[in-house]
Structure 1
Amino acid sequence: MHLDEIVARKRADWARIAGVPSLGRERPAPAVPGTFAAALRGAEVSVIAEVKPKSPSKGQLLPLERAVAQARSYAAAGAAAVSVLADTPFFGGSPELVGEIATDAEVTVPVLYKDFLVDTRQVELAHTTGADAVLLIVRAVDDALLRDLVQTAEGLGLDALVETFTAEEIDRALAAGASIVGINNRDLQTFAVDLENSARLRTRIPAGVLTVSESGIGGRADLTTVGGHGFDAALIGENLLGAEDTAAALGALLGVQIKEAAL
């Protein structure tokens, strides 16, 4: 399952939807602009830890009934933020799952709403969950829609992590007004991973723009490497989800010993 197929499905689904789907409640509190961005700033590279129930390439990764506990574990072990999959057919998440985690009292860090956004109404839906930020994938949209998505997020008080894979996509992200740029080390067409993609492209992003390296980070050495390239944060999912004790694995990534698993 490649990005083009996923995006085509999303466009078709949202073409059939009238208005913004209701989660049966209003956002518990107004979004505070810059909450997610502020969490990524620090002396060392931060970790955005991901709650991803499944993936097209790896299958089931996390039972849904453990998803909230997983997010709590990440927060307790030192993650700067938690990314939660809102996509159902391909990744097994949902907007409701994002809402559960974003409003959970023990998840004390900002939450990123991660989906394949092709319509500004999806940003509005993300806002209702209580999330602090949304992921936008440059390759999934044209320039005009990318600007609209960034501006819609900003208007609702949400940060936008704008994901890129090539130098040209970085230029498009910056032209759209991105203040947080992610460089994905996974080619979403082939799913091949190359950590050097972050190293090659980091210098294209100017000072003042927050940077996130995404995918392919397997341990503390990799995290130190992307930090050495000047990244503010790294988004890590499958390498944590595959660990026997994810809290301890996250602690090892951060160079902190976790005495008791939070899960």
Structure 2
Amino acid sequence: MHLDEIVARKREDWSRITGVPSLGAERPQPAVPGTFAAAITGPEVSVIAEVKPKSPSKGQLLPLDRAVEQARTYAAAGASAVSVLADTAFFGGSPELVAEIATDAAVTVPVMYKDFLVDTRQVELAYATGADAVLLIVRAVDDVLLKDLIQTATGLGLDALVETFTAEEIDRALAAGAGIVGINNRDLQTFAVDLENSARLRARIPAGVLTVSESGIGSRADLTRVAGHGFDAALIGENLLGAADTAQALGELLGVRVGEVAA
């Protein structure tokens, strides 16, 4: 299942939807602009840890009944933010799951709503969950829609992490007004991972724009290399989800001992 197929399914689904689906409750409080961006800004490279129940390439990764606890563990172990899959058909998440995690008192870090956004109403739905940010994939939309998605998010007080894979996509993201640019090391057409993709493309992003390296980061050495290239944060999912001890694995990535963050 490749990106084009997933995006085609999303477009078809949203073409049949009228209005914005309700989560059954109002957002508990307005979004605070810049919350997510501030969380991943600092002298050290930050980790955005991902709650992903399954993937098309790897199958089941995390039982749904453990998803909230996983997010709590991430927050307690030093993650600067949590990314939560809102897609149901391909990744086993849901907007309701994002809302449950975003409103959980023990998840003390910002939450990013991660889906394949092809309609501005999806940004409105993300806002309703209580999320602080949304992920936008440049390859999934045209330039006009990309700008509309960023502006909709900004208007609601949400940050937008704009994901790219090529130099041309970085240029498109910047032209659309992206303030946070992600470089994915995973080709969403083939699912092949190359950590050097971040290294090759980082210099194309100017100062003043936050940067995130995504996928393929599985060790302290990988994270250190990403930091050395000037990235502000790394988005890490499967390498944490597969760990026997999530807190220990995240601590090792961050270079801290278990318990040191909370001390």
Question: Which bracket does the TM-score occupy, shorter chain normalised?
Answer: over 0.9
Take 1:186 and 1:9, find their aligned partners in 2: how far apart are those partners? 21
- CA shift for structure 1 position 200: 0.2
Aligned to 2:170: 170
Superposed, 1:75-224 pairs within 5 Å as 75-224=75-224
Take 1:102 and 1:29, find their aligned partners in 2: how far apart are those partners? 11
TM-score (norm 1): 0.98
Aligned to 1:69: 69
Take 2:155 and 2:14, find their aligned partners in 1: how far apart are those partners? 21
Take 1:84 and 1:259, find their aligned partners in 2: how far apart are those partners? 24
Take 2:96 and 2:259, find their aligned partners in 1: how far apart are those partners? 32
Take 2:174 and 2:125, find their aligned partners in 1: how far apart are those partners? 24
- CA shift for structure 1 position 247: 0.8
Aligned to 2:28: 28
Take 2:167 and 2:98, find their aligned partners in 1: how far apart are those partners? 31
Query: Match of 2:167, as an amino acid?
Result: A
CA RMSD of aligned residues (A): 1.0
- CA shift for structure 1 position 259: 4.6
Contact residue 49 and residue 81 of structure 2 kept, 8 A: yes
Superposed, 1:232-251 pairs within 5 Å as 232-251=232-251
Query: Match of 2:110, as an amino acid?
Result: P
How far does the alpha carbon of each residue in 1:215-250 deviate from its partner, in whole angstroms, 9 at most, with x for none? 000100000000000000000000000000011100
Secondary structure of the 1:162 match is strand
Query: Match of 1:131, as an amino acid?
Result: A
How far does the alpha carbon of each residue in 1:104-134 deviate from its partner, in whole angstroms, 9 at most, with x for none? 0000000000000000000000000000000
Q: Is 1:5 matched with 2:18?
A: no
- CA shift for structure 1 position 3: 0.0
- CA shift for structure 1 position 89: 0.4
Number of matched pairs: 261
How far does the alpha carbon of each residue in 1:114-163 deviate from its partner, in whole angstroms, 9 at most, with x for none? 00000000000000000000000000000000000000000000000000
How far does the alpha carbon of each residue in 1:156-198 deviate from its partner, in whole angstroms, 9 at most, with x for none? 0000000000000000000000000000000000000000000
Take 1:145 and 1:131, find their aligned partners in 2: how far apart are those partners? 21
% of aligned pairs identical? Answer: 87
Take 1:247 and 1:238, find their aligned partners in 2: how far apart are those partners? 14
Take 2:192 and 2:87, find their aligned partners in 1: how far apart are those partners? 21
- Deviating 4+ runs (over 2 angstroms): none
Take 1:135 and 1:47, find their aligned partners in 2: how far apart are those partners? 15
Secondary structure of the 1:149 match is helix
Superposed, 1:17-56 pairs within 5 Å as 17-56=17-56
Take 1:28 and 1:176, find their aligned partners in 2: how far apart are those partners? 30
Take 1:218 and 1:111, find their aligned partners in 2: how far apart are those partners? 21
Take 1:138 and 1:221, find their aligned partners in 2: how far apart are those partners? 29
- CA shift for structure 1 position 65: 0.2
Take 1:43 and 1:212, find their aligned partners in 2: how far apart are those partners? 14
Take 1:40 and 1:10, find their aligned partners in 2: how far apart are those partners? 29
Take 2:196 and 2:55, find their aligned partners in 1: how far apart are those partners? 23
